[in-house]
Chain A
Amino acid sequence: MIETIKLSKTYKGKKAVDEINIYLDEGESVGLLGPNGAGKSTTISMISSLLKPTSGDVKLDGKSTIKNPAEIRKVLGVVPQEIALYEELSAYENLKFFGEIYKVKKNVLEQRIQDVLDMVGLKERQKELVKTFSGGMKRRVNIAAALLHNPKILVLDEPTVGIDPQSRNHILETVRKLNEENGTTVLYTSHYMEEVEQLCKRVYIMDHGKVVASGSKAELLSILSSEDTIRVNLSETSDELIKKIKSLEYIRLVDETSEGIRIICKKGANILGDLVRAAESERIQLTNYQMETPSLEDVFLHLTGRTLRD
């Protein structure tokens, strides 16, 4: 349905997006995962025709959208990262405005507004001014505004940033329903791994403007099939200890956590003995040791050497 071909964007000599190739099939739910500054928003802006790429192409059903963006705009609903609403107006008035600019017919618009408000759970509060809403409620109206013209493709740019868990669950549930029940194609960007794991069938992992891995969750996790992830809780951490562990030949990566360290090492390596010795030499107490089932977070760490929230 949509594909990008060697899509690049350069700002003042710096490549924000570097020759990425991604595709979305009809009805699919795809995640774009990466830390802040990875190039996700720039990619989305180019896909949605808001930003012209420096090179490469975006195709909708095989036709380039760069020269003729009108086609993709018709079928696209974009939920921007910012709250793109008039805060001085009520939720209803905002939706009416966006419905009008999308030329939704008058006799349909009223019902459509009520439908999307119902979908995001704000029907009862539609007459209240947006500026009086909580962050989560604003984000829900932000999503509703992108749904008024019944788009075939929904692009969401970090729609759950900085909101309460209740609103977050509501948004995730709304997106899931749109995808599974309405057949809407979803491109969901986030730096929250669990959201992407929950919603998306396929995931693209981006870092420094490049797609560093892609595939289904299982395919991505298989990257770690030759490795173990071990979480170790310590009484304290020290640079010297981390240095010692890193010097072990079977260690791939050591990452500091709030309670100790997380280690990615060669599968089956007998790490416990070396770990205890290193901790004892540094007079640090080892309080817990746990083998973890690898997550996409671990995949990301493995691929980029940093965590998603770095």
Chain B
Amino acid sequence: MFPVFKSQWRKDKRKPLMVILFLVGSIALTLIFTSSNMVPQTTVAIFSSETNSSEIMDKWEPLLNRNESFNFVIADEETARTDVAEGRRDIAINLKEHDYRFITAYDIPTLPLIDQYVQKVFVEEAQIEAAAGSQGIDQIRNDVESYLENPPFQIQTESLNGGEVSNYDMGIQLLFGFTLFMAMFTIGFKVNGVLSDKVSGVWNRMILSPVSKTGMYTGHLLYSFVIGFVQIAVVLVIFQYVMNYDLGNNFFILLVIAAIYALSIVSMAMLITGFVKTPEQFYMIYPSVVPIIPVISGVYMPPGTISNAVLLFIADLFPLTHAMEAMINVAFYHEGWNEIALPLVLMLLIGVICMGVGINLVERRKG
């Protein structure tokens, strides 16, 4: 077993580019998609075509900008309309004394959100004005704000186990997703070494040597596992300890999940190896299949986005779904061994089945 393991290591030592590329790829993809995941503040141009436009702007601009989700900037009417017409800006608002009109070139997806917000500001202001009566509006506004700071009914939110509700960080989900996804490539391409050896004739040479079949497979598969696991571990270590991402307080459990995941991916790659005849076929089929897995497993989407029963069932067939579930539970909800036992067992089960069928198919194909 060890000579086989060492020979694979020697090959990668000479040509480490692929492993490095996938490792850097995991980090780069996470950084790129995590940063783009933060929704940028939407800027909306506001103007008024009324005769008392400056008065209107003075009134509404500070009220609209009390929320940080949107940035309302004062513009002159002509510029605002031209910007929308020429696509430099998606939206502008023509403000009136007690009303507003949207100026937009097409039905942008954020329009309902902006409309909802602006409407809320206008309704609140109308209510305050109605309630003001003889008192000053500012007085009423201050009263309402101080009242809201200490309301008669308060809602307290707790997590299921009584603690604080964790913030769900989509960035961390993507970090896990991309790391596990890229590891699938590294592991798969290493497992493909079995096919390469078979085609080149090295496999037959090994059969004739005193190395047992078990030793031959173990050498190859253990190496694929180690490379895949080390890749995942390195990425997680970099994000946890160098980039200071909060991956929860049980890093060790994350590493165990990564190890079991790597093991199950080795088996999955072995299963695909069983269906193809040459390394070239593997290189064609594996990279075509693998990118579909995170999509079905909902890796790139917030939890609960995929609700189709068939898709959920298919997702359950892949180790990625279970690894993501376990990692997210550990990182966000600080769950322990008992809570993540099920996804771990499912990954092991998938691993055992795929390995059994895969090796069987490879052995049957010897002619």
Q: Could you tell me which A residues sit within 8 Å of B by CB distance?
A: 11, 48-51, 73-74, 76, 78, 80, 82-86, 88-89, 93, 97-98, 100-103, 129, 145-146
| A86 with B208, Cβ < 8 A, contacts A51-B367, A80-B201 known | no
Identify which of A50, A98, A129 contacts B204 (C-beta below 8 A).
A50
Give the size of the chain B interface in residues (CB under 8 angstroms): 21
Q: B63 to nearest A CB, angstroms?
A: 69
- Number of inter-chain CB pairs below 8 Å: 65
Cα A296 to Cα B10 in complex, Å, equals 47
Identify which of B202, B204, B207 contacts A85 (C-beta below 8 A).
B202
Most B C-beta atoms less than 10 A away, residue of A78, A86, A101: A101
Q: 8 Å CB contacts to A: which residues of B181-202? A: 200-202
Cα A93 to Cα B200 in complex, Å, equals 17
**Inter-chain pairs besides A89-B10, A97-B7, A145-B205, 11 sampled, C-beta below 8 Å:** A11-B367, A49-B208, A80-B204, A84-B202, A85-B202, A88-B15, A93-B10, A97-B6, A98-B209, A129-B14, A146-B205
Is B4's CB within 8 Å of the partner chain A? yes
- Whether A89 contacts B209 by the Cβ 8 Å rule is no
- 9 examples of A-B residue contacts, CB within 8 angstroms: A73-B208, A73-B209, A78-B204, A78-B205, A88-B14, A89-B10, A101-B206, A101-B209, A146-B205
Cα A146 to Cα B367 in complex, Å, equals 23
By secondary structure, the B interface counts as helix
Q: Which residues of A contact B11 (CB under 8 A)?
A: 86, 88-89
Cα A73 to Cα B205 in complex, Å, equals 10
Cα A129 to Cα B202 in complex, Å, equals 16
Cα A80 to Cα B207 in complex, Å, equals 13
Cα A279 to Cα B205 in complex, Å, equals 56
- Whether B205 contacts A80 by the Cβ 8 Å rule is yes
Cα A48 to Cα B211 in complex, Å, equals 16
Cα A80 to Cα B203 in complex, Å, equals 11
Q: A123 to nearest B CB, angstroms?
A: 20
Is B210's CB within 8 Å of the partner chain A? yes
The residue in chain A whose Cβ has the minimal distance to the Cβ of B196 is A86
- Whether B201 contacts A82 by the Cβ 8 Å rule is yes
Cα A48 to Cα B209 in complex, Å, equals 11
Q: Which residues of B contact A83 (CB under 8 A)?
A: 200-201
Is B287's CB within 8 Å of the partner chain A? no
